[in-house]
Amino acid sequence: MFLIVLKDTKTNGAFSVINEYNEKVLLFFEEYDDAERYKMMLEDQESLPELEISEYDENMLIKTANTLGYNYSVITPYDLVVPPNTFETL
pLDDT of residue 39: 92
- 69 burial type by CB count under 10 A (0-12 exposed, 13-18 middle, 19+ buried): exposed
Mean pLDDT, residues 72-81: 94
Domain boundaries, the chain: 2-89
Asked whether the predicted pLDDT for residue 8 surpasses 80, the reply is no
| % of the chain exceeding 90 in pLDDT | 53
**What is the pLDDT confidence band of residue 45, given thresholds at 50, 70 and 90?**
confident
Asked whether the predicted pLDDT for residue 11 surpasses 80, the reply is no
Digit-coded pLDDT (tens) for 58-67: 999 999 999 9
Degrees, nearest 5: CA angle 17-75-79: 105
Q: Which residues contact 38 (CB under 8 A, 6 or more apart)?
A: 4, 27, 29, 75, 81, 83
